[in-house]
Structure 1
Amino acid sequence: MPRLHRLPARIAAVMVGTILVLVLTVSGSVLWMTRALDDQARRQAEARILDARDGMVERARLLALDYAKWEDTATHVTAGDTDWMRDKIGATAIAGEAFQIAMLWGGPLERDLGWTIGGPAEPREGLLDPLLLGLAESRLALVPLDTYDGTEFFAWSAGHLYVLAAARVEHLTERGGGVLPDDRLGRLVMGQRIGAATVGAMRDDLLLSEVALVRRPPQDRPSLPLLDAQGAPVAFISWEPPHPGSDLLRRMLPLLVVVMALTAGLVAVGMTLVRRSADHLIAAERRSALAARTDPLTGLMNRTAFNEALATPAREGERAILYLDVDGFKRINDAIGHAAGDSVIAHLGERLSDLAGPGCLLARVGGDEFVFILDGPDAGARARDLAAAVGAALRSPLEVPGHRLRIGASVGYAVQGKAGSTAEDLVRHADLAMYEAKRHRDRGPVAFGDMIETADREARIMERALREALDRPGELSLVYQPIRDPRTGRLAKAEALARWTSPQLGPVRPDRFIAVAEQSGLIVDLGWRLFLLLCDDLERHADLVACFNVSPLQLLAPTFVPDLIGELGRRGIDPRRLEVELTERVLVDDPRLAAERLEELRAAGFPIALDDFGTGYSSIGYLRQMGFDTLKIDRSYVADLHDRIERQALLNAMIELAHALGLEVVCEGVEAEDDLRIVRELGCDLAQGYHLGRPMALGDLMAPCQGPARSVA
């Protein structure tokens, strides 16, 4: 019997022990989970605060760069147009919607000009501390010229905290500008005020309590520093860390007591539910982190993830960057629309993703720019193979809704150099190689190397020599290539061609020095000097009718047409003796402004010709809209006509189209008697080429034997 009495006690002991173990296990698990949730929430809060701070900085940076690298800003700041700066920049700062403080200084500006929210319309001097501007200058000195970049930092001004972004005001070469010395460039700083409203919006967006902006870091709560131009904290964002685990435990405790009293199974269910909640929080964080580092259009890494991937240092030869830029993507967007353009980028991303194997990452870092990162001891060889594979992958057309497109791309790559070179250097080298490939598209992928550096050095030497040539008479000259009637051989007019013989460099090919002039911003001065030489020849020979080429920068310059008309009027030269030749690039870069300039030339009496037709992107609409007088068909359609029946048909269609639009047709590149016979039979009005006359001095052109010329019938 005693045993019978002891059995319940034993059962009870087992039950009590089981429940006690269960209670201790559940309690320990709940406490552990509570701490884990609190720690996880603390880290999440810190990451969200960091993202919010970086977002403020990035918004300020993009805003400042958008204004500083805007062509209109560069034009009006260089011209010292205070009214424009007040209306376009100052008024926006005063309104305070996009930014609340703005200041321009340096370069062509005689004094600093500043505006702030609610302030007067007239610019103020000394709006920002000179020491602060000096620090901004120091940081901008580290930013290379002719780049879409600037510097950002936090600073106090007039009792308010701002996130400031500063950049040089310059017209980038990739947008048709030219590199100017640093001391000729103005500076622009813009800032967004960080006040109670900003902090309140941050608190609401991040779902955090007691978010505050403080001067000193609190001891009892986390904070994040806001750094000034010297890298020192000027303020801190502090917040109350969330305690979701503790809050959850307080809410669940009564239920847990009841559940543990009734059944350990319900406790297990409760634990499972809690664990599931934690899993949901972790999964949400992972999705958020992934979305922040993923390009939404292609699903590839974005620039943020690309920069993170480059943060790990690499040894010499064990990392390569391959930079790819789609050729003419703006024209694709203009032709088929931005939605179809996005589809092109998405399909291109899929095709490039197939080429990224082990040890290779692919990112989309711009609108039409993709970058591969290759790591490993054979990175250089793999980069060369990948460049070839990219070219092969782009040979087949892309299928987008309603369109079948062949996409071209410029590819450049660079391999990690000697120890100490940074990831930024590697990316810059690949970018330079890509631009070299874009300049010489027939070369295919370009590897960064001594040749590119040598080309840059030679271009700088040529630029200095060209600047000297513009100041010295005798180095620049003109020759003339006759343009004749293909039926009679009569000289109709002649194309003026530039020549340069440098004392240091000797004779320089026109394509070389004209390209250098365009890149360095000398093309307008060079064009004007050559125009004056042409006017001298027109004065000496009253029978001369000449064509002269005008670059896009010349045509779009505000004073080009008035200066042209004024010079001819001063010399008494009839504008009808000068035919202005333009390439198709002018029409694509800025059709509206080009149409305005051509209308001014046409009103003044100048004949206008479209040169090298068929090599670019001009359309029948352009030909009708611009009102050309002459169409010059590129030599690539004329060469070897007698062997190319299909080319004869294409040339015939071009001539008939031009005649239907009332245009005179000139066929360039007539190099043989058979070519001349065919263009004559196809109805071409005039012809030009070595068979009819090479470029020659004016005296030879105007010699009696050159007037009627030899018979070409």
Structure 2
Amino acid sequence: MTDPDRIRSSAHGLFPVFAFILAILCILIVTMLWSVLESDRIAIDRQVRYVDLMVGEQVDKLILDQENVTIWDEAVRNTSIAYNPDWVSDNLGPWMQDYFGHDRSYLLDAADRLVYAMADGADVDPEATDLPAVFAPLIDEVRGRGWASLQTGAATSADDENPRKARLTSLENRPAVVSAMVIVPDSARVEQELADAYVLVSVRFLDARFLRDLERRYFLEGVRFLGEAADAPPGEAQTPLLGSDGQKLGVIRWRAIRPGTDLMVTLAPYAGGMIALLGAVMMILIRRTDRAMEDLRTGEAKAHHRAFHDDLTGLPNRTLFNADLQTAAEGLADGGPPFAVAYIDLDRFKDINDSLGHPAGDELLVQVARRLVRVAGRDNLVARLSGDEFAILHRGAAQPEDASALARRILAAHEQEFDLFGTSVFAGCSIGIAMAPLHGRNRMELCRKADIALYAAKAAGRNRARVFTATMDEERRHKRSIERGLREALHTGDGLDVHFQPFVDRSGVRVIGVEALVRWRTADGTQVPPSDFVPVAEECGLIADLGWWVFERALGTCVRWPDLVLAVNCSAVQLRQDGFADRIVRLMERTGFDPARLEIEITETALLDAPEMQVRELDGLRAAGVRISLDDFGTGYSSLSHLHQFKIDRIKIDKSFVRKIGDGTDSDAIVRAVAGLGKSLRLAVTAEGVETATQFRVLVDAGCTEFQGYLFSRPVPAEDIDAMLNARAFAPA
């Protein structure tokens, strides 16, 4: 065989090899292209689900927002019973935009006439406003649904008694969520004729703010709304925005995240080399492709994990918890297993975070997460909702005792100390539990009731667990009613008053001063005890406004008693306000009150937070001539250092010690010790809660200098103090 034949034969022999390599290369390319397209498809499908989920959430949120103002006795009083335009503007108008972000509010009377309208945070003339046609079927539906449920007695709760309807529609050529609700009372104290009920319609546009939230929440870019439903151009994805009636409102479009395409672009420079070098480069490409695909899967897994997990603790976040809870709740309809929802909140986490620093606070959260996972077990979902709030989906918990047993194990685990970078701390927790289906079958309802139970656990003293009961719900509604009434009273000044309780000298006859005490009577004449409304004011942030109202009223009233000292209680919130002392001084100047007659009463608990700021404010008051009194001495963190650091002028012995005088306890010795301490430090000593002559004699003998209690007088209006002073005599009751 000649050399050309050998060469030809070799070429023919090599052809199948090259053909085989080319076939492998083609298969590889086709496989890679399929993987790219499939990866892109999965990623885009996931993005579409996220967008659709958030649109649905906007409908639920608008309904929840409206419930805050439509299930309300005051709303019924000021609409259907006696229409009050000022009240409606204050509570159903611009405030709805400022607080909830609603863009439109419309109020319709019983005849469906528009009586009030708000647009973009401003009142508008209802007579010059035309209701969009899309509102009519909503209003008709809620009225028909409401009358049917109320007339047949089908309503069983405040939620059932509040007919509501929401839908996604097009308004002003923009997508919008529209909700209509009938205004109903939240208690039996207010009665409303069916034919007189008003309807509140609220609108929130899915505008730029919604699109920005969508971008931030799901790491999307270039999100926008298009009214025309055109096909998405290359490199972008979209999902149709459908109204509640199925009508296509437009599309939401964004720059698609295409991990497969991104990978292909990265590998494109190698394609020419692979074709040229065939076998050798092909092997390199295979290895690099495998590695790149693995990196892609890893990166996608990390992105998915970040979207549904907390970065600090690694626990599922609120989004994943809500999704799993929704699945479990929907499964109840198909005979799925019962379960419990437990909300967990660390007790006084802020104190640890502030005193030891944020790194220590983060480390505490990580260690708490580990303990919760260990105690809850693999079958239950543990999530971090936000801050120091955790939640557990306790699957298979059929009875409250099952959930309570888990709660006891959690509390026991928190009895062990936490090591935070060499510092040992104890961090208890409070737990609220709701059972499904015992307490509800709806995700939002179960979360609401677990939160109510958590609130009850905190109110009961913390570091404990509570299972939801109907009584808790009533207490929550009662406190919410108190908050609304108190907020209204502070706004109008109606119902609030200041009473004064005298304190006397050692003779028990001469009045030397009065203590200002706030009283509140509701619009229906009910006297609300301070022990009920003051804690609510502290919880909802009204305590500072209430305190300043008392200061102003008391100073203005007591100007006419130039020989008496005025004692006014100061809350910890007020004391922490910058400029507190300056404001007191301005009030005294405006009312003409002598600073030497004013005595500010504070508790030791109020001095524990930010003491440097408080020392500065108290020094400012003392420089103006005001005296400082330490209230409830002996019941808190009593310390001689406080008497020195804050330059106290008077200490007040708490009534809990006075009440036990002569009953064989240590109260007599405590009273003598406190009185002796006051004498040694040249401090005035006042005994509170004196109710019997025996207590008075013991306190006088112990060395107390001033006395206050029912033995001498209850808190009374200013007119009664006038009468006492005009009589020029005062005898114990």
Normalising to structure 2: TM-score of the pair? 0.62
* 1:224 aligned to which of 239, 244, 250: 239
Output the amino acid matched with 2:321. F
Instruction: State the alpha-carbon separation in 2 of the partners of residues 135 and 404 from structure 1.
Output: 63
8 Å Cα contact 1:165-1:191 kept in structure 2: no
Match of 1:555 in 2: 547
8 Å Cα contact 1:491-1:708 kept in structure 2: no
After superposition, the Cα gap between the structure-2 partners of 1:305 and 1:252, relative to the gap in structure 1 and judged at 3 Å, is: same
* 2:617 aligned to which of 603, 614, 625: 625
* 1:215 aligned to which of 228, 232, 238: 228
8 Å Cα contact 1:479-1:697 kept in structure 2: no
Calculate percent identity across the aligned residue pairs: 20
Secondary structure in structure 2 of the residue aligned to 1:637: coil
After superposition, the Cα gap between the structure-2 partners of 1:401 and 1:351, relative to the gap in structure 1 and judged at 3 Å, is: same
8 Å Cα contact 1:37-1:278 kept in structure 2: no
Tell me if 1:614 matches 2:605: yes
Instruction: State the alpha-carbon separation in 2 of the partners of residues 310 and 8 from structure 1.
Output: 73
8 Å Cα contact 2:344-2:454 kept in structure 1: yes
8 Å Cα contact 1:215-1:235 kept in structure 2: yes
8 Å Cα contact 1:414-1:448 kept in structure 2: yes
Q: CA deviation at 1:287?
A: 1.5
**1:373-412 → structure 2 map (5 Å cutoff):** 373-377=393-397, 380-381=400-401, 383-395=403-415, 398=418, 406-412=426-432
Match of 2:37 in 1: 38
Output the amino acid matched with 1:422. N
Structure 2: segments with no counterpart, 5+ residues:
69-85, 147-157, 182-191, 488-494, 662-667, 697-707, 717-723
**1:217-616 → structure 2 map (5 Å cutoff):** 218=231, 223-228=238-243, 232-237=247-252, 244=261, 257-260=275-278, 263=279, 266-313=281-328, 314-315=331-332, 318-329=338-349, 341-342=361-362, 344-377=364-397, 380-381=400-401, 383-395=403-415, 398=418, 406-418=426-438, 421-441=441-461, 444-453=464-473, 455=475, 483=503, 492-493=512-513, 510=529, 513-514=532-533, 518=537, 552-556=544-548, 563-564=553-554, 572-574=560-562, 576=564, 578-587=566-575, 591-592=577-578, 595=581, 598-603=584-589, 604=591, 605=593, 607-614=598-605
Which structure is higher in RCO with an 8 Å CA cutoff and minimum separation 6?
1
Q: CA deviation at 1:448?
A: 1.0
Instruction: State the alpha-carbon separation in 2 of the partners of residues 608 and 135 from structure 1.
Output: 63
> Larger deviation: 219-228 or 24-33?
219-228
Structure 1: segments with no counterpart, 5+ residues:
70-76, 91-98, 169-180, 468-474, 525-550, 639-646
Instruction: State the alpha-carbon separation in 2 of the partners of residues 652 and 300 from structure 1.
Output: 46
Secondary structure in structure 2 of the residue aligned to 1:281: helix
Q: CA deviation at 1:654?
A: 4.1
Secondary structure in structure 1 of the residue aligned to 2:30: helix
Output the amino acid matched with 1:613. E
**Cα deviation per residue 1:660-696 (whole Å; 9 max; x = unaligned)?**
35x2222223333323321221115222244337535
After superposition, the Cα gap between the structure-2 partners of 1:251 and 1:682, relative to the gap in structure 1 and judged at 3 Å, is: closer
After superposition, the Cα gap between the structure-2 partners of 1:215 and 1:23, relative to the gap in structure 1 and judged at 3 Å, is: same
Match of 1:548 in 2: none
After superposition, the Cα gap between the structure-2 partners of 1:398 and 1:380, relative to the gap in structure 1 and judged at 3 Å, is: same
Q: CA deviation at 1:422?
A: 1.7
Tell me if 1:681 matches 2:676: yes
Q: CA deviation at 1:40?
A: 1.4
After superposition, the Cα gap between the structure-2 partners of 1:498 and 1:520, relative to the gap in structure 1 and judged at 3 Å, is: same
Match of 2:720 in 1: none
Q: CA deviation at 1:371?
A: 1.1
Instruction: State the alpha-carbon separation in 1 of the partners of residues 266 and 500 from structure 2.
Output: 89
8 Å Cα contact 1:78-1:185 kept in structure 2: no
Output the amino acid matched with 2:676. E
After superposition, the Cα gap between the structure-2 partners of 1:623 and 1:183, relative to the gap in structure 1 and judged at 3 Å, is: farther
Q: CA deviation at 1:105?
A: 5.5
Secondary structure in structure 2 of the residue aligned to 1:362: strand
**1:179-218 → structure 2 map (5 Å cutoff):** 189=204, 192-193=207-208, 213=226, 215-216=228-229, 218=231
Instruction: State the alpha-carbon separation in 2 of the partners of residues 166 and 455 from structure 1.
Output: 28
8 Å Cα contact 2:241-2:250 kept in structure 1: yes
8 Å Cα contact 1:483-1:493 kept in structure 2: yes
Q: CA deviation at 1:136?
A: 9.7
8 Å Cα contact 1:633-1:667 kept in structure 2: yes
Q: CA deviation at 1:230?
A: 5.9
After superposition, the Cα gap between the structure-2 partners of 1:115 and 1:36, relative to the gap in structure 1 and judged at 3 Å, is: same
Secondary structure in structure 2 of the residue aligned to 1:278: helix
After superposition, the Cα gap between the structure-2 partners of 1:419 and 1:281, relative to the gap in structure 1 and judged at 3 Å, is: same
8 Å Cα contact 1:30-1:249 kept in structure 2: no
What is the RMSD computed on CA atoms of the aligned residues? 6.3
8 Å Cα contact 2:178-2:201 kept in structure 1: no
Match of 1:545 in 2: none
After superposition, the Cα gap between the structure-2 partners of 1:520 and 1:218, relative to the gap in structure 1 and judged at 3 Å, is: same
Instruction: State the alpha-carbon separation in 2 of the partners of residues 115 and 462 from structure 1.
Output: 30
Instruction: State the alpha-carbon separation in 2 of the partners of residues 133 and 599 from structure 1.
Output: 55
Instruction: State the alpha-carbon separation in 2 of the partners of residues 444 and 186 from structure 1.
Output: 42
After superposition, the Cα gap between the structure-2 partners of 1:380 and 1:20, relative to the gap in structure 1 and judged at 3 Å, is: farther
Instruction: State the alpha-carbon separation in 1 of the partners of residues 399 and 45 from structure 2.
Output: 37
**Cα deviation per residue 1:55-108 (whole Å; 9 max; x = unaligned)?**
799999999999x99xxxxxxx969589x969x989xxxxxxxx9x95566599
When the two structures are aligned, how many residues end up with a matched partner? 602
8 Å Cα contact 1:115-1:127 kept in structure 2: no
Output the amino acid matched with 1:321. V
Q: CA deviation at 1:432?
A: 0.6
8 Å Cα contact 1:476-1:498 kept in structure 2: yes
8 Å Cα contact 2:180-2:199 kept in structure 1: no
Instruction: State the alpha-carbon separation in 2 of the partners of residues 339 and 562 from structure 1.
Output: 43
* 1:665 aligned to which of 651, 662, 670: 651
